[in-house]
Amino acid sequence: MKYISASFYCIVLLLSTFAILQSSAKVHVHIQNRQGKNINLHCRSKDDDLGYHKIENGTEYSWSFNPNFWGTTLFYCAVLMDPDPVWYYFDAYDDRRDRYRCKAQCIWLIQIHHTLIGYNEKSGDWELFFFRSDRLL
């Protein structure tokens, strides 16, 4: 009995060490404005509000974070593009979608005509995404 519980604890310890190492790798998100005009950006997760930022054309806003252990990390952003008076939303990092898609670098380009493209680190492709007109959470 003692032997079984000792190996059980060893396995649990190994698995949790592995899980912690896996989840502690930092993800860097970059949101580049290629829209031609300034944009306003507001990104947040359930726990962190990154605040409002004015991003000039040709520049980017970036931050990094450690995805949580549970695989539920979600950062979403609202974008205001002059002269449109509405905020457009997109998920800058959704662990379920991006765990392998952008493991280290999540690069987003906001281009003219509200075109949003994101880099898929795994496939090496730029992918087309669509803004939402509201925050569907």
Binding site for ligand NAG (CB under 6 A): 34, 36, 57-58
Nearer to ligand NAG, 57 or 133 (CB): 57
Name the minimum Å distance from CB 109 to ligand NAG: 9
Q: Which is nearer to ligand NAG, 17 or 57 (CB)?
A: 57
Identify the CA nearest to 101 among candidates 116, 81, 117, 118. Answer: 118
**Closest listed residue to residue 74, CA positions, set 48, 107, 109, 104:** 48
Residue 37 beta carbon to ligand NAG: minimum distance, rounded to whole angstroms? 7
Smallest gap from residue 56 Cβ to ligand NAG (A): 9
Please, which residues have CB within 8 angstroms of residue 126's CB and are 6 or more apart in sequence? Answer: 109, 117, 118, 119, 120
Could you tell me the two tokens for 121? 């680190």
* Residue among 34 and 132 whose Cβ is closer to ligand NAG: 34
CB-hemisphere CA count at 13 Å for 108? Answer: 27
Residue with nearest beta carbon to ligand NAG: 58
